[in-house]
Amino acid sequence: MIQIQNVSKTYGNSNKKAVDNLTLTVNDGEIFGFLGPNGAGKSTTIKMICGILSIDEGAISIDGIDIAQNPMEAKKHIGFVPDTHETYENLTANEFLNFIGTVYDVPSKEIKQRAEKLLSIFELDKVLNNPIKTYSHGMKQKILVVAALLHNPKVWILDEPLTGLDPQSAYQLKLMMRNHADEGNTVFFSSHVIDVVEKVCDRIAIIDNGSLVVVDTLDNIRQNKDVSLEDVFLKVTGANVEDYNG
């Protein structure tokens, strides 16, 4: 479970809050979609949940552990897939996964067992000994997904995870997200691909200008089945749809 309470964040000397008084609860067993236009505050929120950015005001807890008070323990419960594909590119996948296993305290026997299973799902088992920098974007994304799941985290946070993935891998990833949530875990998922969010997520939040605009189940948000999530998104974020239609 992720609990975000009255969280605010301002960058540098800016007068504008990147995230403004955000309150949100993501329950166990659900896939939570986090939507918003560019610059709305999605990545800032995710970075604060993961403990990468400090929180100016408010509190975030992961499975009841405050990320600011007890970051080491909280981080052990998180598996994070960043949107940048950045990792230790000069290591091979084999070396990188062994390293991740060690720092996340995965028991020695489990590292191999879990890595082999995850690698075969994404068909990475044949390129294990190549440096990660030689991988394509999609392959790097896959290795980050494997690394994020290696320690079997209770909370899985994915920032634009489908970017660069081939259809098979994207399907596998969506399936894994569903299974992970069904096992009683939490999946927090940010994306610009509204169709995917619509199909995969149990609940959805839309953030705009740092503030939460909508948070509910898909059906409640749409109210009317003829209205698509895209229409709702464009409406609540204030996009001028008429401009697009000419």
User: Site for another protein (CB under 8 A): which residue of 21, 88, 192, 222?
Assistant: 88
Q: What are the helix and strand counts (H, E) for the chain?
A: 10, 10
Q: Confirm or reject binding of residue 54 to another protein (CB under 8 A).
A: yes
* Cα 230 from Cα 228, distance rounded (Å): 5
User: Site for another protein (CB under 8 A): which residue of 6, 23, 112, 230?
Assistant: 112
Q: Confirm or reject binding of residue 64 to another protein (CB under 8 A).
A: no
76: Cβ–Cβ under 8 A, 6 or more apart, which residues? 104, 105, 151, 153
Instruction: Characterize 97-122 residue by residue with b for buried, 16 or more Cβ atoms within 10 angstroms of its Cβ, and e for exposed.
Output: bbebbeebebeeeebeebbeebbebb
- Give whichever of 87 and 186 is closer to another protein, judged by the CB atom: 87
Q: Confirm or reject binding of residue 69 to another protein (CB under 8 A).
A: no
Q: Confirm or reject binding of residue 66 to another protein (CB under 8 A).
A: no
Do residues 31 and 198 make contact, with C-beta atoms less than 8 angstroms apart? no
User: Site for another protein (CB under 8 A): which residue of 51, 181, 212, 221?
Assistant: 51
Point out which span in 21-29, 121-129, 217-225, 238-246 binds another protein (CB under 8 A).
Answer: 121-129
With CB under 8 A, what is the number of residues at the site for another protein? Answer: 54
Q: 3-state class of 240 per DSSP? A: coil
Residue 16: exposed, middle, or buried by beta-carbon count in 10 A (0-12, 13-18, 19+)? exposed
Q: Confirm or reject binding of residue 137 to another protein (CB under 8 A).
A: no
Which positions lie near another protein, rule CB under 8 A? 10-14, 47, 50-54, 56, 71-73, 75-76, 80, 82, 84, 86-91, 94-95, 97-99, 101-105, 108, 111-112, 115-116, 119, 125-131, 133-136, 139
